[in-house]
A and B are shown apart, each in its own frame.
Chain A
Amino acid sequence: MAPCGTDETISRIVREYSGMLLRLACTRLASAADAEDAVQEVFLKLLTAPVVFRDAGHEKAWLIRTTLHRASDIRCQTEKRNVPLEEAAQTAAPEPGNDLLRAVQALPEKYSAVLHLHYYEGYSMKEIGKLLGLPAATVGTRLARGRERLRQMLKEEIT
């Protein structure tokens, strides 16, 4: 694949992946501004590392995994400053949301990522397995357990 530092590649990766990565970061972060910071850092990391991917699938998988790691790091830093996610969400700029989004954000990342990739991005279990480096069966287990946790959190059936 083309070197990451060319104008053409920069435009392509930003336009192709920004939306997906921002939304994915928001499964871990309550603030859209924090998500933007995380995704910019991931793009910078991609640019400055001597990266070569075998194909676009590997590029996407790397971006997804790195975004999740970075978003989780930011979340940990926030929590270490004794600002729980719920409080951070309240003190951040008021952002529209609903109970289900907040419940997904409160799940452990191994559940929130697969739920989001499946229910928002529309990836199959097999595709999510390839993106996250997991067996498809494990993705299925996490979807089921994640949904169950959400049910318990929301006290109602998710259709």
Chain B
Amino acid sequence: MRFGFTEDQLLFQSTLRDFLAKECPPATIRALWESETGHDAALWTKLSALGVPGLLVPEAHDGLGRDEIDLALLLEEAGRAALCGPIVSTAAIGAPLLAEIPAPALRERWLPRVASGEARIAVGLPGLRFVSDAGDATLLLLPHADEVHALAPDAVQLVREPASDPARRIFTVSFTASSATRVAAGEDARRALATAFDRAALAAAAQAIGVADRLVDMTCAYARERRQFDVPIGSFQAVKHMLAGVSVRLEYARPAVHRAAWSVARGLAARSTHVSHAKLAATAAARLAARVALQVHGAIGYTWEQDLHLWLRRAWSLDLDAGGEGHHRARVANAVLADGARVGPGETFAGEA
């Protein structure tokens, strides 16, 4: 029993943090807002050189062969930099879905390309209306009834849905399913899609932690600097207590996300409950952080020019990604209120075996 990261994992995280601080400043994010794809090819090449898209790709397919614990740390950093796009759909959802469906030829063909940065995968998930980052994908994995279909970009019709978070690239996707496009069916497909949904929710949760962290950092920096009544506004209790309240919710969301990452990595029976808890806790913390950050910044935070809203919009849209609050709350409720549910002291890690 050890709830913590290795030196190696923390080094990987801080390397990514430094890299994104340098390579992906707010000006880069703003430029991506204006771009067609929401995707920066030069940045993607550099991320690929670090092994980021192939983080979960097995070493046999030229990936790093790391697990979801490392992935969670990576996605926290993506959130901290307000970076979204194919890094999430490809590295966190697409690549592992490809590895899990029983389609060896597809795997052989695409996983090495994911690892090298050549391929970007968009994934449709059951119950979700939109497909993220479909516009610039080289492969789409889409659900149809209880099947998974693999489609080339020219075989689908995409309708872009502009959103309030200009970093998001979401699409309504239609396509004609056939036996030629089907890559998984029945129980295999159901299991793979359910896992992919949990991966998407975990990815949103991990990004939300990074977003909230960044919002707190930015807001504290502003509160130290901004003076009113001849003192820094951060010296006022009203400001302190709002920010302390964010810290409390954030610090108790963080371990829920890390535990969910562990449960996904280990394929635990309680995986979906843990993921939903993580999604709820992390996005609630990010929403609260956004609310307080805006209030403490005051009118300057309400401008388009100030960079604050890069993170505000991420906080708001991550809440909507991969299943909203109601969906995730219902999943936890169904598990916790079920007959024979194991819910007391000593049960937290009882699903380990």
Do A and B interact? no
Which B residues lie at the A interface, using CB under 8 A?
A: none
